[in-house]
Chain A
Amino acid sequence: MTIPRIGIIGIGQSAFKARRQDSNYPELVREAVTLALNDCKMELDEIEAVVYSLAPDALLGITNAERLGVDAVGARNKRFMRINTGGSTGISAMAAGHSHIAAGACDVALVAGADKVGECGDSQTIMNKIWDPIYERPLPLGTINMLAMSAVRYMHKYGMTEEDMARIVVKNRLHASKNPNAHLRTPTTIEEVMASRMISWPIKLFDSCPQSSGGCAMVLASEKYIKDRGLDAVWITGVGHCAESYYIGDRMGNGYIADHADAQALAEACQRSYRMAGITDPTKEIDVAEMYSPFSNTEFHAIEAAGLAKLGESPRMLREGHFQLGGPTPVNPSGGVLCTNAIAVTAMVRVAEVALQVWGRAGEHQVKGARRGIASGNGGDHQFFGTMVVEA
């Protein structure tokens, strides 16, 4: 029993900014959809199903905001559903779109969404509300300090330093300076990162992702549809999701399945994608990786989870130039989530960027000769992980 490979035939993403005063939310979705349809010279009429990518509604200030997006994605009287797995929503939406076509329910599907995080005055207040109201809501938990704690454990386990973290920022900002869609595009230095204000030890301002606004959309199609029309496409050959316990405190102590320092469920999700794609040695078979990492420190355990480095080895390999553009396996050549984070679509942008890379369309941030890549998304409190292998 083989899983059919599903093609990506069109990609659209906004030039992400902090605020988009010129556009309300449905208009922002429409912008991304138009870009994706133009990319494959397709009309909305030809889309048979829509998977809508939208993470916490509270950030937009509208419950079930996807209902307002129906016209933006041309879904009247069509198949339509929304996916939400927190930060991994965009890649989970892509996985759901993949299932639509692999199941034979339709031949062409649109996956789309947008976010306006920069307009929400209080995003960490909302992020505090993702924690359970039984035990953890009274604690000042937020996504920043939750991952700062991961940094603390990773430092303790593997000896990572704050300079190592800064080095990730330097790499990604340089990459972003070559990516016209990225939000933060100014190159920086280790000194500048180290001097930026401390938010939650050891994470500083420059170690953190921005709050971005913008949209992303992709058109997926079955192999038959693509071959019948002689369309250009790249292929999703691996899909995998895995989740950890919600309880951060269970990822430490005695007898844990996953350590909060690492990303064990992400590693498992990557393995599931690799198995489906027939990849046995990612260090040799993966040319490019877009690994979801909203803070500098988390890129290390993401790289290791992707099998591109042994546990604890990636800081050294980064110092040796392994993961930058021009190196053996560039990670986040787009600049990654660290430079652009429109939460509802960030994980979809990871797939879009890998797709552009293996398609040879990544412009100035192109990884030469890239033919196969891995994309990932993280959601919840480092709880949900989605991965996808895309190849030429």
Chain B
Amino acid sequence: MAHNRQVGVIGEALFAPKSIQQTSLEEALYAVTHAALRDAGLTIEDIDGIVVAGNDQMDGRAITIMMASGSVGGVTRDILSTPSGSEHAFVLGALRVRSGIYKTQLVVSWSGMETDNLSEVQRLSNDPYYHRSLPLDDLSSHALQANVLENEVPQLREAAIELARQLRINGFKAYPEHSAAPLEKVWIEGGKMLRYPITEGMVTPPSFAAVAMVLADQEWIQTHAGKKVAWVHGMGWATETAYLGDRNLSQLTSLEAAAGQAYKEAGLTQAQFDVAELADATPYQALVALEGLGLCGRKDWVTSVAKAQYGLNGQTSVNPSGGAMSFNPVFCSGLMRIAEAANQVRGTAGSHQKLNVEKTVGHGASGFAMQYNTVIVFGREPLESLK
């Protein structure tokens, strides 16, 4: 099951305005598209196809790709949409380039903030048969998952609080213009309880952002010199079942499956990365992700966090961007993790750039209690076996 041709990330941009009143959603997507094309050194004429991801109900538009299409160069082009998750837009974009039908793809996702009740919108994803009357939104689902994990892993709360503290510092260093402020342990621990056991300091309220990435195939990259590339070495994506009651919330078999697919493609027998950008809407998510990615099993969670080994100087730096715990554009934070992992390889991560990065992993999770999991492995060079 080898992939046919190599695909590389050659451009990326993030648009996170201070005030969402200033620009319409269409204008925001136009801005991020232009910025990503600029970063890639391309014009829209070089783009063969586009994949977007947005949530209709968050945007207040019953078919949100209709709104997005004009802004991202959809007119006269081939544009599809994956509302299941922003990470899926990356996957489909990469598959389209690998198929050989497209030389380039633009991938764009955003997180709409025009609704006055995001929790209500999220609750509408509950089935109307059995669960709609429950106060089950994203945060509640994360809380349920945290509750199950705390019950299973001794001293987990302590580690979660400490990890939240570390990641918030990362975020504030990486993106001071829009990250949540750092907080000491005592404030995270004693902060307002939002949904037991999640306190205010363990999460960040939703924000608006739009993110775009440009992908191209190997031949195209080789004939257009001077691109900063992150090569996709492996891709994996998988899902849990929907009903939380049908799942073992302390395990993520879909993440293991996705990581397995990605590592197999990348020829990796061990998870060895310079940087891991993983899903961290709560610190509990980050810990489960560390395990699912093969970076740290649960019996080592507490000690590894206490040792503070995930900083920029550590062997594997985890979420040097600060992750969703610092800046939380809910719907597109998955694609942002993938973008951050790619940027580290490309050398474009800015103030949180790690030195001498060869290989990274990006992980995005969407849906209640991390229902969907997507894993992308990036490398500095095209995959050895296919060179």
Contacts and interface: CB of A to CB of B under 8 A. Distances in A.
Contacts of A61: 124, 128
Interface string A162-206: 000000000000000000000000000000000000000000000
A121 interface: no
B242 A85 contact: no
Nearest to A71: B241
A99 B92 contact: yes
B371 A67 contact: yes
Contact of A99 (B96, B240, B253): B96
A61 B77 CA distance: 31
A83 B96 CA distance: 14
Interface string B98-129: 11110000000000000000000110111111
How many B residues are at the interface, by size bracket?
A: 35 or more
B101 A102 contact: yes
B100 A55 contact: no
A294 to B, nearest CB: 15
B125 A64 contact: yes
Interface string A353-388: 000000000000000000000000001110110000
Interface residues of A, number: 69
Nearest to B84: A82
Interface in B59-79: 60-63, 65-67, 69-70, 74-79
A86 B78 contact: no
A48 to B, nearest CB: 8
A66 B56 CA distance: 13
A103 B127 contact: no
A87 to B, nearest CB: 9
Contacts of A66: 83-84
B67 A246 contact: yes
A279 interface: no
Contacts of B79: 85, 241, 243, 384
Nearest to B85: A81
B63 A56 contact: yes
Contacts of B124: 61-63
A86 B66 contact: yes
Given A104-B98, A130-B61, A239-B101, A77 B238 contact: yes
A107 B1 CA distance: 8
B95 A100 contact: yes
Interface string A57-87: 1100111111110110001111111111110
B66 A383 contact: yes
Contacts of B129: 24
B238 A105 contact: no
Contacts of A24: 129
A63 B55 contact: yes
Given A24-B129, A70-B241, A245 B75 contact: yes
B134 interface: no
Interface string B76-92: 11111111110010011
B239 A78 contact: yes
Contacts of A268: 76
Interface in A88-138: 92, 95-96, 98-100, 102-107, 126-127, 129-130, 132-134
A388 to B, nearest CB: 13
B4 interface: yes
B299 interface: no
A96 B66 contact: no
A24 to B, nearest CB: 6
Interface in B18-36: 24, 26
Contact of A243 (B61, B74, B253): B74
B76 A243 contact: yes
A265 interface: yes
A257 interface: yes
B210 interface: no
Nearest to A76: B241
Given A67-B242, A79-B236, A82-B88, 5 more contacts: A77-B240, A102-B99, A105-B98, A246-B66, A380-B65
21 contacts: A3-B100, A63-B55, A63-B56, A63-B125, A67-B368, A78-B238, A79-B238, A82-B84, A85-B65, A86-B65, A99-B98, A104-B1, A104-B3, A133-B60, A241-B49, A243-B69, A243-B76, A246-B66, A265-B76, A380-B69, A381-B66
Q: What are the 4 tightest A-B residue pairs by CB atom distance, in nearest-first order?
A: A103-B98, A102-B99, A82-B84, A241-B78
Interface of B: 1-4, 24, 26, 49, 55-57, 60-63, 65-67, 69-70, 74-85, 88, 91-92, 94-96, 98-101, 121-122, 124-129, 235-242, 246, 253-254, 257, 261, 367-368, 371-372
